[in-house]
Amino acid sequence: MRSPDSAPFADAVLARRLEAAEALNARFCTASPAGAAFLDIAGGCAIFVGADSPLTQAVGLGLHGPVSEGEVDALEAFFRSRLAKVSIDFCPLADPGLLEILSRRGYRATEFNNVLVRRIGGAPIVLAPRVRRALAGEADLWSHTVGRGFFDQGDLTTAEMEVGRAIFAMQGAICYLAVADTGEPAGGGALAVRDGLATLFADSTIAAFRRQGFHRELIVARLNEAIARGCDSATASTMPGSTSQRNFERLGFEVAYTKVTLVASP
């Protein structure tokens, strides 16, 4: 028997809720960068934030019924007309016909991500003393901090900084910084709340500050905000078997399903 505090049952209803929030977050990432664009299609959303940006992809496709060949044609044209690769964040609960179409077109798997969920209604507030909200004027500080942890390098290109800036400017995003005792930024993360669901994303810890509990506090601080806003559930995505996944699981998250990134042949 499942505990009432365990993750919601991972069915199509849950997937639609999680992927709808993901698609909305992705769409709102196009508000700031020059040339950014989005396309609502196949029940989800395709976004372009730069030809080489990791934010440029399609999410939430095929969760509300079959997807046609014509819709996939339009999706591919959206990306290729902007000289970007066609990348689809594919949910395993999507209509199976979409996978058949993509298989016929030669799409290949390039990455897997676990989607984790936790019920948080009525959960207690837990202290996170080394984490604070990023201020309105700290877009570059937050972007550089998260970028250093994500790209594992101190010097970031303009394109790499733009990834963080797009997230920082996203409608509804609340960004956080973890700060070491020396005053140095140690890591960062973001939160968005959509219809009672808290999405935790953009988690990053600078290499020199890993294994010191900063990521745990970043998770806790965002859960505190979600609880204060009356959310019933929280979700996050991680690489399978990663330290990030372990940190989320230690705080009560469970894997709901695993998504695969499918990329079209050039």
Query: What is the β-pairing status of strands 197-205 and 44-48?
Result: unpaired
Residue 171 dihedral angles phi and psi, to the nearest 5°: -60, 125
Within 10 angstroms of residue 124's Cβ, the number of other Cβ atoms is: 8
What is the domain class of 119-257 according to CATH?
alpha beta
**Whether the Cβ atoms of residue 75 and residue 39 lie closer than 8 Å to each other:** yes
Which tens digit of pLDDT belongs to each residue from 31-81? 877 889 999 999 999 999 999 999 999 999 999 999 999 999 999 999 999
All CATH 3.40.630.30 domain ranges in the chain, comma separated: 119-257
**Whether the Cβ atoms of residue 232 and residue 121 lie closer than 8 Å to each other:** yes
pLDDT recorded at residue 181:
96
Residue 199, strand partner residues: 192, 235
Q: Which amino acid is at 6?
A: S
Lowest mean pLDDT among 20-29, 66-75, 81-90, 132-141: 20-29
Query: Is residue 18 very low, low, confident or very high in pLDDT (cuts 50, 70, 90)?
Result: very high
Query: Is residue 5 very low, low, confident or very high in pLDDT (cuts 50, 70, 90)?
Result: low
CA 140, 146, 151 angle in degrees (round to 5)? 115
Query: What CA–CA distance (Å, rounded) separates 59 from 66?
Result: 15
Q: Is the pLDDT of residue 177 over 70?
A: yes
The residue-averaged pLDDT of 11-28 equals 94
Q: Is the pLDDT of residue 114 over 70?
A: yes
pTM over 0.85: yes
From residue 130, how far is each of 70, 173, 183, 220, 238 by CA, in Å? Answer: 50, 20, 10, 11, 23
